[in-house]
Amino acid sequence: MTLPPSVSLIEEPAGYPILVIHHAAATGRIALNGAHVMEWTPAGEKPVLFMSAQAVFEPGKPIRGGIPVCWPWFGGHPTESDKPAHGFVRNLMWNVGEVTENIAGVTLEFLLSDSDDSRAFWPHRFDLRLEVKLGAQLSIALHIKNTDEAAWSMTGALHTYLCVDDVTEAAVIGLDDAFYVESRLSPERIEQSGPVYFDREVDRNYESKDTVRLLDRKGRRTIVVEKSGSRATIVWNPWIEKSKRLSDLPDDAYPHFVCIEAANAVPDVIAMTPGKEHVLSQRLRVQRD
């Protein structure tokens, strides 16, 4: 592995490899476990990605915070409840591909293909390539290819945790008139009216391809979330009671993040014929008031 000067490889904790980026345009950290973007801080800014103070950094375990890659299913497995939630690729070690830098930032490539480990969860052949561009903006693109001789289908998401100073003063703008289902909370299909506010648990699957903005009033900034290859936008905050049930999230952490996820989620299942490719991507940028 050849790394440019702004990127270094550490093991923290021991046996847990993380790429650390110190570039003039931004700093960040990416774990090879799950190809998980843990941190991104543009120059002159506060951290943009939320990371739980109780996140588990252990091979084979998902990380609470940052950007988990959920694939090849989003949420619980559609037929087998004993399979890991949000798929298995966030629990596997990825290989590092090409890593380059220029004046604008750093581009990193992570690779994962089917193996004995993946076939323990899913019988199909595939190639994944995650491209991360980290600078004044953060772009993340999951390139998916069916390398099998048979067709298969998938869902998935880039499960992005975004920092806010106080979720009760935050709002998500850009989903007005979009229909949503309140996930496990209610099967009713509801039309959004105005911004999304937070005064209780929110776990919504919106039918939307549009750009949204997370208005962090107390933090005096707006995080712009653009996406492609996605027919759904997930908006999530666990609020008080759900936070108490999550062992890797402090009970008092819920006011400090909102998840906005580029997703393909049920019923928007993507059919993948042999040789077909699909790209799920998201781009983040910060606007100051």
Distance of CA 54 to the CA centre of its chain: 18
pLDDT at 7 over 70: yes
**Best CA proximity match to 65, nearest among 31, 96, 93:** 31
Q: pTM, whole model, 2 decimals? A: 0.97
Gap between the Cα atoms of 85 and 79, Å rounded: 12
Among 36, 86, 101, 261, the one annotated catalytic: 261
Q: What percent of the chain has pLDDT over 70?
A: 99
Mean pLDDT of 185-213: 93
Place of tokens 């960040």: 28
Q: Is 150 helix (H, G, I), strand (E, B) or coil?
A: coil
User: For residue 245, what pLDDT is reported?
Assistant: 95
Residue in 86, 124, 159, 256 annotated catalytic: 159
CA R_g for the chain: 18
> Catalytic annotation on 22?
no
- Collapsed DSSP state (helix, strand, coil) of residue 55: coil
* 173, two tokens: 């703008």
- CA–CA separation, 130 and 118 (whole Å): 17
Q: Which residue has the higher pLDDT, 228 or 79?
A: 228
Query: Measured between alpha carbons, how far is residue 94 from residues 10, 110, 129, 250, 283 in Å?
Result: 15, 6, 9, 28, 22
Does residue 185 surpass a pLDDT of 70? no
Query: Which residues, other chains included, contact 42 with Cβ-Cβ below 8 Å and sequence gap of 6+?
Result: 25, 26, 48, 135, 136, 137, 286
pLDDT band at 187 (very low <50, low <70, confident <90, very high): confident
> Among residues of the chain, what percentage have pLDDT more than 90?
91
CA gap 130, 142 in Å, rounded = 5
What is the identity of the amino acid at 189?
R
CA 75 to chain centre: 13
Active site residue 39: no
